């Protein structure tokens, strides 16, 4: 019979008053002893008699009221001393705006059972049950509503009161299973075994949840009507235990995830600002060198300056171009990540903003033009029209590429909108091949006319092909990044640090940046993350994931890693694996890794990722590596 239904034909027992008084006395005594035990005070045998001298009552009130009651008689022998102690306790209770109608000190000293039980019930209500609040209802009504909401999914449980509803033990079991299913298998219970269910709930609650067993099984199951106050006192402990657990776990998860995200974003922002500062400083230094250049109307000197400028364009300038494109991509990734986690947009410090970098880049381009023209005026006298045509076309291509790069760097907003914009930029870049073809033809005409340099542009076909390749690569990488972020956004089972590690591993082994892994790359990635499979196991796994293709996509990879990590990978398992490979040393050598039959790609990745050990020159500190991976 589900809880909440009174037994048919149940009649009041002639000694019913005595029964509830006995149960309450026993329950309240256990409740008081649980509070006294918190301060290592001796337990009471029965509150109805052991409260008579007032000392135990004063100790109880000081504990639950978190206040000192002042001086009192610690070893009262005379009745007047006992009365003084009890009056001190009763005055403290009244000072908390708690009404004690018809309860005097003499009643407690004389061990008036009913009045003492009434006083303890008032104390329990005030200090344990009154602060319960559930959807606007407080105290007893709030506790009852909480029980009803938490047990609603269990069809055998119907909590309507604090007496009959608990007699089959299922309501207690349901509360435990709802909050801690690992402690109790509700669905495996024999729903007809009221004694067994109640005893199991009491034992689990006391052993694993720290809830003292205030009730005996027979007080609930065998009573004609279980005492409501006793049951309510016991159930209130479930509310406080689970409320504290839920709040702590929720707060911990929320703060941990927020801290991980903020640390990752902060590192990316700090990296962006530091690199922008270095690039702008280098650009300004280069322009200063050009301003101090002494030009001579000597072909050899002009030729030497021209060669130096060509060397600059093929070396330093390309390094800067790579850096600028990477910075544009990094800024876009920062903004995308902040949007993903609903953070405010990132605004770099003054002097380090995208506009500051673009201004410096534009000034560099203008300085390059001035420097180039200053050189060219000593080695070219004519062929102006041909040069102008070449410069116009080259600048057009550069403007197109620069515009695409600028639009790419300015990306923000929702991931789907960003991906649509990137696809549009890819379409804008498609004519570049034809434009570069026409530009190459103009360059051949200039060479045929012995024109090696140009006054109206600093961009050679090689430069623009390189820029075009970099822009195309950036567009492809950006599209893959957004697609991958769309996949990662829905992976809520793991921390951002773990997902970041999976992405980094995928990118490391995706050597051709195709956003897919072949069987060799996939196995190396698994090895580097500590997931080792036999040849047969891996072959079966790869066939399953690749679905007949010669590769697996990022989405398939990340979903597999999430499933695998949830079920298998833990820092402890990886630490044990490293210890086995290292022969219980505090460090691991490259030879140890090679002897463990890891793939060469996995060994190369681990050697690159792990810091050097201070204990051995040829060793790597796998402990520091694991701390960095799992505690970022």
| Domain range list for the chain | 16-129, 133-226, 252-489, 496-630
How far from 353 is each of 350, 360, 475, CA to CA, in Å?
6, 11, 22
CA distance 111 to 121: 16
Yes or no: domain 252-489 corresponds to CATH 3.40.1670.10: no
Question: What's the pLDDT at 378?
Answer: 72
Question: What's the pLDDT at 385?
Answer: 67
Q: What is the mean pLDDT of each run of 10 residues along the chain (632 residues)?
A: 36 50 87 88 87 88 86 89 88 83 85 87 81 70 91 94 93 94 93 94 93 91 90 90 71 73 88 94 94 72 84 93 93 89 90 94 94 78 70 89 84 78 83 89 78 83 88 79 66 65 84 85 87 87 86 82 67 82 92 86 90 92 88 57
Question: What's the pLDDT at 6?
Answer: 37
Reduced to 3 states, what is the DSSP secondary structure of residue 262? Answer: helix
Q: How far apart are the first and last CA of the chain?
A: 53
Written as one string, the DSSP assignment of 425-438 is HHHHHTTHHHHHHH
Burial of 396 (0-12, 13-18, 19+ CB in 10 A): middle
CA distance 470 to 511: 16
CA distance 220 to 292: 97
CA distance 431 to 561: 40
Question: What's the pLDDT at 141?
Answer: 87
CATH of domain 496-630: 1.10.238.10
CA distance 169 to 203: 12
Count how many Cα atoms sit within 13 Å of the Cα of residue 44 in the half-sphere of its side chain.
Answer: 26
| Mode of pairing for the β-strands spanning 137-138 and 516-517 | unpaired
**188 DSSP assignment:** G
Q: Do domains 133-226 and 496-630 have the same CATH topology?
A: no
Question: What's the pLDDT at 376?
Answer: 83
Written as one string, the DSSP assignment of 452-505 is ---SS-S--HHHHHHHHHHHHHHHHHHHHHHHHHHHHHT--SS-HHHHHHHHHH
Question: What's the pLDDT at 5?
Answer: 36
Longest Cα pair distance anywhere in the chain, in angstroms?
A: 127
- Dihedral in degrees, nearest 10, Cα atoms 122, 124, 125, 128: 160
How far from 363 is each of 88, 131, 283, 464, 481, CA to CA, in Å?
85, 68, 9, 19, 31
**295 DSSP assignment:** P
CATH of domain 16-129: 1.10.418.10
CATH class in words for 133-226 = mainly alpha
CA distance 628 to 279: 29
Question: What's the pLDDT at 619?
Answer: 94
CA distance 374 to 175: 85
């Amino acid at each position: 019979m589900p809880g909440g239904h009174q037994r048919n034909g149940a009649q009041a027992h002639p000694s019913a008053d005595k029964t509830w008084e006995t149960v309450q006395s026993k329950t309240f005594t256990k409740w008081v002893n649980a509070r006294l035990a918190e301060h290592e005070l001796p337990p009471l045998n029965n509150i109805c008699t052991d409260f008579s001298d007032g000392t135990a009552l004063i100790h109880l009130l000081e504990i639950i009221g978190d206040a000192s009651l002042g001086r009192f008689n610690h070893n009262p022998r005379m009745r007047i001393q006992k009365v003084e102690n009890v009056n001190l306790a009763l005055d403290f209770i009244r000072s908390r705006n708690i009404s004690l109608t018809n309860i005097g000190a003499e009643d407690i000293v004389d061990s008036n059972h009913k009045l003492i039980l009434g006083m303890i019930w008032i104390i329990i209500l005030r200090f344990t049950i009154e602060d319960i609040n559930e959807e606007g209802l407080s105290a007893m009504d709030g506790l009852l509503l909480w029980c009803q909401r938490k047990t609603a999914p269990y069809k055998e449980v119907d909590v309507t009161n604090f007496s009959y509803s608990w007699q089959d033990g299922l309501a207690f079991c349901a509360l435990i299973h709802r909050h801690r299913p690992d402690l109790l298998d509700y669905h495996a219970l024999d729903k007809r075994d009221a004694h067994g269910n109640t005893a199991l709930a009491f034992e689990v609650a006391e052993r694993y949840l720290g809830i003292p067993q205030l009730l005996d099984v027979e007080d609930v199951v065998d009573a004609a009507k279980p005492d409501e106050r006793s049951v309510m006192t016991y159930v209130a402990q479930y509310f406080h235990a689970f409320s504290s657990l839920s709040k702590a776990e929720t707060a911990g998860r929320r703060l941990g995830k927020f801290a991980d995200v903020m640390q990752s974003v902060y590192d990316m922002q700090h990296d962006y600002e530091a690199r922008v500062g270095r690039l702008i400083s280098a650009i300004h230094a280069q322009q200063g060198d050009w301003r101090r250049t002494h030009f001579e109307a000597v072909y050899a000197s002009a030729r030497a300056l021209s060669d130096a400028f060509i060397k600059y364009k093929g070396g330093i300038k390309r390094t800067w171009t790579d850096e600028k494109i990477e910075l544009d991509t990094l800024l876009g990734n920062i903004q995308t990540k902040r949007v993903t986690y609903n953070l405010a947009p990132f605004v770099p410090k003054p002097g380090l903003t995208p506009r500051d970098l673009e201004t410096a880049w534009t000034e560099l381009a203008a300085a390059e033009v001035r420097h180039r023209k200053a050189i060219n005026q000593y080695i070219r006298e004519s062929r102006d029209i041909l040069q102008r045509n070449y410069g116009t076309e080259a600048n057009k291509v550069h403007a197109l590429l620069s515009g695409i790069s600028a639009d790419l760097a300015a990306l923000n907003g929702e991931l789907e909108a960003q991906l649509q914009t990137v696809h549009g930029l890819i379409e804008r870049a498609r004519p570049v091949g034809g434009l570069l073809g026409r530009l190459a033809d103009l360059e051949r005409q200039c060479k045929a006319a012995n024109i090696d340099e140009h006054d109206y542009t600093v961009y050679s076909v090689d430069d623009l092909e390189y820029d075009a390749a970099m822009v195309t690569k950036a567009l492809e990488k950006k599209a893959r990044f957004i697609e991958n972020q769309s996949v990662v956004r829905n992976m809520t089972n793991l921390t951002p640090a773990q997902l970041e590690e999976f992405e980094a591993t995928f990118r490391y082994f995706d050597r051709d940046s195709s956003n897919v892994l072949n069987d060799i790359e996939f196995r190396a990635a698994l090895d580097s993350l500590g997931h080792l499979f036999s040849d047969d196991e891996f072959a079966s796994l790869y066939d399953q994931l690749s679905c007949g293709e010669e590769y697996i996509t990022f989405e398939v990879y990340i979903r597999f890693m999430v499933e695998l990590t949830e079920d298998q990978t833990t820092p402890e398992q990886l630490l044990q694996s490293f210890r086995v490979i290292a022969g219980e040393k505090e460090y691991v050598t490259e030879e140890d890794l090679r002897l463990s039959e890891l793939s060469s790609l996995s060994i190369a990745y681990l050697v690159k990722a792990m810091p050097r050990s201070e204990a051995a020159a040829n060793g790597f500190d796998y402990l520091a590596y694991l701390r960095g991976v799992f505690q970022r």
